[in-house]
Amino acid sequence: MEFLGDSSETDKKTMKKKRFHRHTPHQIQRLESAFNECQHPDEKQRMQLSRELGLAPRQIKFWFQNRRTQKKAQHERADNCALKEENDRIRCENIAIKEALKHTICPTCGDAPSHEDSYFDEQKLRIENAHLREELERVSSIAAKFMGRPLSHLPPLLNQMPFHGGPSLDFDLIPGSCSSMAAPTLPSQPNLVLSDIDKSVMTNIAVTAMEELIRLTQTNEPLWIKNDGARDVLNLGSYENMFPRASSRGGKNHNVRVEASRSSGVVFINAMTLVDMLMDSVKSAELFPSVVASSKTLAVVSSGLRGNHGEALHLMLEELQMLSPLVPTREFSVLRYCQQIEHGTWAIVNVSYELPQFISSSRPYRLPSGCLIQDMSNGYCKVTWVEHIEISEQEPIHEMFKDRVREGLAFGAERWIATLQRMCERFTALHEPATSSVIPSPEGKRSVMKLAQRMVNNFCLSVGTSNNTRSSTVVSGMNEFGIRVTSYKSQHEPNGMVLCAATSFWLPVSPLIVFNFLKDERTRPQWDVLLNGSSVQEVAHIANGSHPGNCISILRGFNASSSQNNMLILQESCVDSSGSLVVYTPLDLPALNMAMSGQDTSYIPILPSGFAVSPDGSRNDQIPELKVEGRGSGGGGSLITVGFQIMVSSLQSGKLNMESMETVNNLISSTVHHIKTTLNCPSTA
C-alpha cells in the first residue's frame, strides 16, 4: 500500500509540472507589442488578445502583471547604477576638496585653516602659546640674520594662538633619500623634530630667498657688472642697496669674503626633467659629480603641489668640492625651494639654514643662490645660475689655487652651467642607439656607460678633501706640497683596503693641450708607468657629447714581453669650459664582457685613477679653446690633479704601512715626472 501511495504522489507532481505552459515566440512578440502600446489593458483588450492568441483571459492578465513587475525592477536597477555613479563622483570630489584644503593658506594669518576637531580648551591654548613664544625667541636670531627684520613681523595670529600647520608642512625624515656618497660631516640627528614655528620660519626664509633670486637672475646693470673676462660679477654696493639687511653675518670680521657670480646657457633637457633632478638629492649629486661631493635630504618640509615640485621645500646637507687635495670642501645646510613662476618657467633657490645647535661662524654661508629654468619648444631649456656665498677663511688658500678660488671660478656659476650642459649631453647619449661594432646592443652601451659613470664618481671622491668615505688619512711631503693618501675598505671582492693617493701641480701649458696629451692613446705610453713602454689600442668608442673629447673608450694594451695581451682599460674623458677629466680603470675580460652584454655592473670591482685639469685662473677665465662667445682672455697655465688607487689586501686594522706609502708615492712621483718631461716643463714647476 505504501508503494501505491508513493506512486499517487508522484503522479500528482507530474500533473502539476505538465500544467506549466510556455508561450510561443509569436505569442510573446504579440504580447510585447501590446504592452508597448498599453501597459494596463482593460477587459475588452484582454479578451481580444485571448481570442487572437488562443490564451485564457486569466493568462493574459497574469502576463501583463508579471511584465509590469519586471520592467519596474529594470528601472530600479538602472536608477541604482546611476545613483552609485553619482555617489562615487561626489566621493571623489570630496576627497579632492579635502586634499586642496590641506594646501590652503588663510589670507589673514598666513596659516592653514583650523578645523573643529583641532580646538582645545582655553587653558591648554595658553600653555601651548607660552611654549611657542619660547621657541620664537630661540629661532628669531636665525630669521633676522637672513630676513633683515625681526620675527615679530610674522602674521599676528602667531601672538594669539599656536600654529596648526597642514599636512603639507609635516617634517618627514627620509631615510632612503641619502645619496650613495657619504653625507657631510655636519652633525645630524636622525630623530630631529622641528616645531611648527621652525617650519614657518623655514617657509618665510625660503619665500624671501626666492624673491631675491628672481631679481638676481632678471636684473642686469648696475646690480651685475662685467669684469675683464666679460663675466657677470655682483656689484656689492648696488646689492646692499637693493637688499638691505638688519644684520650681516660677517659683521666687522675682515676675514669674511664674498663670492658672487652669474652665468647662463642652453641645456639639452626639458625643464620639468631638470626640476625633478635638482629637487632630488641623489639625482642632483649624479648630475654634478665633479662639483658635489655629497648630498643628503634631511627633511621634506613641504612636498609641493600634486604632480610637480611647485612650492616644494626641502632641508638638505650638501658638500661642494674642487678636484684637488689642496682645496678644502665647503659644507652647507640649505633650504631648497622650488616655485613655478609662470607656465614653462621654474626657479629653484638654495639658502643656508643653520640649525641652532650646529651654528658655526667658520662654515660658509650660502646667500640666495640657485637657478631660473625657462623651457624652450625644442626640448631644450635656458638656465640662468647664480652663486652667492659668504666665506670666512680660517686657513690660507694654497698659492696654486688662490686666484681660481678668489675669482669665484672654483665654486662659481660658470662651473655649474658648464657641468650641467656636459652632463645633460651625456644623459642624452645614454639613450641613443649603439654605433660600435664591439658593443652592438643598446643595453650593452648603457651598461658600459653606467660603469664608466660609477668610475668617474669614485675618482672625484678619491682626489678631493672630503673625509666622509675614508677611514683614515696620511699626508706625506713631496717638494713644496704633499701627497694626500686616504684609505677605505673595499666593498667588492677581493676584500682588502684601497689606498687613494692624490696631489696637484701646475704646468705652464694650455689646459686643452694637457687634456689631449693625457687622453690620446698614442701618447699614453709616455706617461703611464704601469704600461712599461707598451702601446695601447682603442678597440671600442662611445661618444657621449658634442665635443669629440667627450667619450668613453675601451683600450687594449700590448705587452711585448708577453704572448697574452689581455690588459684592458676602461677610460672616460670629458671636457667643458671649466676644465676636463681623464679617468680610467683596469678591467679583466670577463668583467668587460659582462658590461658589454648589458648585465648589472654594480658589483664589478674598479680602482679608478686619472687626472683633473683646470685653468689656473691667473690669466684666463676659462679654457680658451672652449670659451663661450664673448668670454675668456686666452693664455694661462694648467692646474692638474693626479690620483691613483691601489688594492692592499695585507693591511691590518686599516693601518697604512711604509711599503704601501712608498708604492703610491713612487707611482705619483714617476707619473708627474714623465708628464713634465714630455711637455718640456721644469721639474720644479
Element (H, E) at 68: helix 57-102
Rounded distance between C-alpha atoms, residue 282 and residue 356, angstroms: 26
Quickly state the pLDDT bin for 531 (edges 50, 70, 90): confident
The confidence score (pLDDT) of residue 358 equals 57
pLDDT digits (tens, 9 = 90+) for 156-201: 333 333 333 333 323 233 233 333 333 334 444 444 677 778 888 8
Whole-Å CA distances, 456 to 404, 419, 588: 23, 13, 18
User: Torsion-angle region of residue 329: left (phi > 0), alpha (psi -120 to 50) or beta?
Assistant: beta
HEC-encoded secondary structure of 207-244: HHHHHHHHHHHHCCCCCEEECCCCCEEECHHHHHHHCC
Rounded distance between C-alpha atoms, residue 356 and residue 142, angstroms: 8
Contacts of 411 (CB under 8 A, 6+ apart): 259, 291, 320, 322, 330, 387, 389, 405
The confidence score (pLDDT) of residue 585 equals 92
Which range is least confidently modeled, 127-136, 310-319, 501-510, 592-601? Answer: 127-136
Rounded distance between C-alpha atoms, residue 133 and residue 45, angstroms: 89
In contact, 583 and 575? CB cutoff 8 Å: no
Counting Cβ atoms within 10 Å, is residue 651 exposed (0-12), middle (13-18) or buried (19+)? middle
Quickly state the pLDDT bin for 623 (edges 50, 70, 90): very low
Percent of all residues in the chain with a pLDDT value above 90, rounded to a whole number: 25
The confidence score (pLDDT) of residue 362 equals 66
Q: What letter does residue 301 receive in the DSSP assignment?
A: E
pLDDT digits (tens, 9 = 90+) for 321-349: 999 998 888 888 899 999 998 888 999 99
pLDDT digits (tens, 9 = 90+) for 532-588: 878 888 888 898 888 999 999 999 887 655 544 567 899 999 999 899 999 999 988
The confidence score (pLDDT) of residue 117 equals 44
- pLDDT value at 1 more than 60: no
Three-class DSSP category at 477: strand
Contacts of 375 (CB under 8 A, 6+ apart): 270, 271, 272, 344, 345, 381
Maximum average pLDDT range among 63-72, 162-171, 412-421: 412-421
- Cell 492568441 identifies what position? 53
Quickly state the pLDDT bin for 360 (edges 50, 70, 90): low
* Cα–Cα nearest to 254, from 393, 365, 350, 132: 393
Percent of all residues in the chain with a pLDDT value above 70, rounded to a whole number: 73
What mean pLDDT value characterizes the chain? 77
- pLDDT value at 605 more than 90: no
